[in-house]
Structure 1
């Protein structure tokens, strides 16, 4: 009965979903493109007669796409005879996939979870293996893959306590959904236990793929050039901030007493909010500049003879660009990871740790529970309860060079310790592919 209700709801929701895409396209034009793909139409090319096996990886948006990159690179190396299809749900994720992998992979949107759309998708591409990242559990997709004999693996899987409690309310229906996955490769033992309790079969802990992400050398060099251009002023970054957090972060900056001495690089998570955050900065009277206004050739240059890139009295640099988070970390001495001061569940702190940047996180990290706890235990991160504590911690780290260096060393060691999930996952997928043939 629940399955019929779920499918019926999708028929009701689908027109609203299209209207929402068009609404969102006012700020981000990509939402108005490829709408047919979301219903199983307009896919290209037709690979049915190519003879090359197709490996399909689904990564919802930017974060999952960046986490999937090392895995896809490894799959391309391990299976040179195959093609890889990368699917997304957001234009930002699709753009990131194109930037990272170019023409080496095919790409399209994953259709909405409606039987006819999923069937058309599977019939068009005929994947020999499906890989969905982290939390992407779609009942119809799982069922249709099972019926089409497409082994579907949930990779880099995580399941927070909050999400587990919600899913457990569906009882046997949840067990049927999670039990339809061919394999589950979890990030941690805690994730594995929750997923198994929900009915997932053959759950294995392989670690977190995000530890294997590397920042391209060009981004590191760009960030280092920016750091030199900032001069002697301390620099900190507030990364992946969400709605309502920027005001709290700016308040913390004021509380730190460093608003006229240091520079804040403020990087909203979603590009459609760049103008909104710029308006907030202007309204509150902050002296700020936008990354998008910086001449590209000057920003990427390292010639010490070039004119100064930034005004000496600038307080905030708004990071209104995509795909440059690694450069922002390379330019900073401390990082606050957004999505955690308000109950959004946090964002990935691993990239900052790998860059050797001490990390501050808020109270709400339930989407990244294990890695946050591990980073704190390793001395790579500190938790703050509110903007007042953030301001105090910020002042401590930016004025205590010894402490900042200690945390930086711990962050690098923490990131290095947990690498290797990509290699383990590729081998596990190879075995799954072998067993399914």
Structure 2
């Protein structure tokens, strides 16, 4: 009965979803492109041959970057196969283009409607499907099972909050989670919750995000920015979400350092103008990274930068794919999505670069990684903007503590690597 209600609801939701795409396209044009793919209509499909196709679903920017070590390893392990990456957002698709170019195929994942999913599977004929982290679509799982396509929940995580919500559906949830061929969990607690929800063949392989590395040219770009910024205290607020920038600015005021610089990097590109206006309204001088440090035509080329004026208090990160450079340019990183009940964002990339991390109280999507980073001395969890400002001041005043946290962060990230190799071993066996 629940399955029938769910599928019927999609017939109501689908026209509204298209309308939402068109509305969002006013701020991000990519939402009005390739709409047919969202209903399984594929252009540029594979030729009718026996080439194996490995399909990886990565919703948006974060999942696409997290999948990078795995995709690179699959390309190396199976040079005879093609890789298809599906996304749900234009920014995720653009990130996939930036990372892989023509080495992979790409399209949008269709909406979770039977006819759309069947059309997608008939067009691409994947030998193996991978969905990342929390992507659980009941119809997609059903149709892959019917089409005999092994579907693996990879780098899987399940927060206590999400578990309680899913468990309310009882046997229906167990039927959905039991449809995966394998579930490769990040941690034992994730595996325990997923198993309780009916997942079969669950293994704990670790978190793929620990195998992410910042390209040397990106780190060099951040160091060049820092040289042009000078010796003033610098912190980055990374992947901030709507409503959170006001809190970050409150913390900046509580910091009480007139020469400090905030690198403010909103998570969603369609909000860049909105955030720039918010900062300007607060009375702080803001400069856009795209105006001050235009990108070189070749990634390995570093353009000579003018010094950043001392009265610029906020540098707005209005670019894509440069988070590693912002971490490299900063003394301390605050990870967004955590001052409001949004679940937090990935702190591992900052740790891997050796940047001390601060994070707010709401981290239910990254509970294990946050807990481990705090225990390792790589991160400090704060409860509100006032405490964020206070701890920032303490770190800026205590260089030895910052250096120790940075070293602990690098060691923490290095200690947990290896999930990619373990995951590739399982996936190649499935093929």
Q: TM-score range by the shorter chain?
A: over 0.9
How high is the TM-score relative to the length of structure 2? 0.98
The equivalent of 1:398 in structure 2 is 396
How far apart are residue 309 of structure 1 and its match? 3.5
For the residues of structure 2 that align with 1:280 and 1:307, how far apart are their CA atoms? 26
How high is the TM-score relative to the length of structure 1? 0.96
Residue 232 to residue 136, structure 1, CA distance change in 2 (3 Å):
same
What SS class does the counterpart of residue 358 from structure 2 fall into? strand
How far apart are residue 322 of structure 1 and its match? 0.7
The equivalent of 2:125 in structure 1 is 126
For the residues of structure 1 that align with 2:83 and 2:305, how far apart are their CA atoms? 45
The equivalent of 1:98 in structure 2 is 97
How far apart are residue 191 of structure 1 and its match? 0.3
What SS class does the counterpart of residue 270 from structure 2 fall into? helix
* Preserved CA contact (<8 Å) 2:293 2:305: no
The equivalent of 1:26 in structure 2 is 26
For the residues of structure 2 that align with 1:341 and 1:208, how far apart are their CA atoms? 24
For the residues of structure 2 that align with 1:116 and 1:149, how far apart are their CA atoms? 17
How far apart are residue 298 of structure 1 and its match? 7.7
Runs of 4+ in structure 1 displaced over 3 angstroms? 297-303
The equivalent of 1:253 in structure 2 is 252
For the residues of structure 1 that align with 2:47 and 2:227, how far apart are their CA atoms? 53
The equivalent of 1:154 in structure 2 is 153
For the residues of structure 2 that align with 1:133 and 1:392, how far apart are their CA atoms? 37
For the residues of structure 1 that align with 2:235 and 2:305, how far apart are their CA atoms? 23
The equivalent of 2:65 in structure 1 is 66
For the residues of structure 2 that align with 1:371 and 1:277, how far apart are their CA atoms? 28
1:171-186 to structure 2, matched below 5 A, reads 171-186=170-185
How far apart are residue 302 of structure 1 and its match? 5.6
How far apart are residue 46 of structure 1 and its match? 2.7
The equivalent of 1:371 in structure 2 is 369
What SS class does the counterpart of residue 56 from structure 1 fall into? strand
For the residues of structure 2 that align with 1:411 and 1:225, how far apart are their CA atoms? 22
- Between 279-288 and 375-384, report the one with greater CA deviation: 279-288
The equivalent of 2:330 in structure 1 is 332
Structure 2, unaligned runs of 5 or more = none
The equivalent of 2:424 in structure 1 is 426
For the residues of structure 1 that align with 2:142 and 2:295, how far apart are their CA atoms? 50
For the residues of structure 2 that align with 1:270 and 1:52, how far apart are their CA atoms? 36
* Preserved CA contact (<8 Å) 2:7 2:113: yes
For the residues of structure 1 that align with 2:174 and 2:305, how far apart are their CA atoms? 62
What SS class does the counterpart of residue 369 from structure 2 fall into? helix
What SS class does the counterpart of residue 67 from structure 2 fall into? helix
Residue 311 to residue 204, structure 1, CA distance change in 2 (3 Å):
same
User: What root-mean-square deviation, in Å, do the aligned CA atoms of Structure 1 and Structure 2 show?
Assistant: 1.3
The equivalent of 1:12 in structure 2 is 12
The equivalent of 1:285 in structure 2 is 283
Q: Deviations over 1:67-110 (max 9, x none)?
A: 11110111011111100000000000000000000000000000
How far apart are residue 44 of structure 1 and its match? 2.7
For the residues of structure 2 that align with 1:97 and 1:309, how far apart are their CA atoms? 33
For the residues of structure 1 that align with 2:45 and 2:242, how far apart are their CA atoms? 41
The equivalent of 1:2 in structure 2 is 2
* Preserved CA contact (<8 Å) 1:48 1:126: no
The equivalent of 1:294 in structure 2 is 292
Structure 1, unaligned runs of 5 or more = none
For the residues of structure 2 that align with 1:295 and 1:186, how far apart are their CA atoms? 40
How far apart are residue 288 of structure 1 and its match? 1.2
- Between 54-63 and 289-298, report the one with greater CA deviation: 289-298
For the residues of structure 2 that align with 1:185 and 1:31, how far apart are their CA atoms? 31
How far apart are residue 314 of structure 1 and its match? 1.1
